[in-house]
Amino acid sequence: MNTPPTLWEYRLRPEDSGQKYLAILTHKFHFSAKLLQRLKQGERVWVNGKFTYLTARGKEGDRLSVQLFSNEEANIQGEDLPLDILFEDEYLLAVNKPVGQVVHPNRRYPANTLGNAVIGHWERRGEKRLFRPIHRIDRNTSGVVVIAKNQFAHQQLAWQLERGHIHKRYLGFVAGVVLENEGVIDDPIGFAPNSFIKRQIQADGMSARTLFRVLHRYPEVTFLEFTLETGRTHQIRVHCEGFGHPLIGDDLYGGSRVLLDRHALHSSMYAFLHPSTGLPIVIRAPFPEDLRSLVIRLKK
């Protein structure tokens, strides 16, 4: 069974009159050159129901339609696995990833990943799609992961991500009492010596900026909200270690596993503009059970 095509449409406004359709799609809606080339070759761009060349010029009231590529052979094996869906439409799928699940298959984790679960979910509905996560979170980080359902949606959200238009928030528990109510950690991050996994703060690393806010203080633990302005690998974990308050359970970065056997970090919110409508959309993931249990223990 083939995946039903997704049709993106836009009615030209007065300021679009005289503009080439190529310019409108490129500058106003940020279609990539690669995607436009595919659409051109497939004769997938129409005006008022008829095929058009991208170099043609439009006028107010024209109905510009683009048939997006949706029917694509999956790039990984689908599996029948549990999937906690937070949101889904023609363009996007947002899920609440559980603790211990890898986002994308790799040599160490070739199966039982989020990617296998997502592809299996689509296959059961007769849909053929590629697995295109907009971002990844660590295996032992729970929470929101957003997946694009076609090349256009992926390219649109990647464009927003590169320009800092996507807002990501995390919740975490760190060791010790953080005295400041809020603050900014602005330290570059690079690879630790002789490691392909561990990162560290280093002067010649990639810029990394994390905002934090105290939500609650316990006698020996602080509950924090983190907002990322950049998206470096292990960014929150490295920054927490760097300012002397490692995440609970994060033994890779100086944390103790006495209270929790994984790092206490949850991807709680992902906010962006919808790739088709341009309207704001906010995805939230509920607190996982192990962190709820941690709160009960800390209160006692």
- The region that residue 119 occupies, defined by phi over 0 for left and psi between -120 and 50 for alpha, beta otherwise, is alpha
The answer to whether the beta carbons of residues 104 and 155 sit under 8 Å apart is no
Closest CA to 172 of 103, 284, 268: 268
| Amino acid identity at 243 | F
Selection from 150, 155, 134, 129 nearest residue 25 by Cα = 155
How far apart CA 151 and CA 221 sit, in angstroms, is 43
AA identity, residue 51: F
Give the pairing of strands 92-97 and 142-148. antiparallel
Residues annotated as catalytic (active site), given as ranges: 138
How far does CA 180 lie from the centroid of its chain? 29
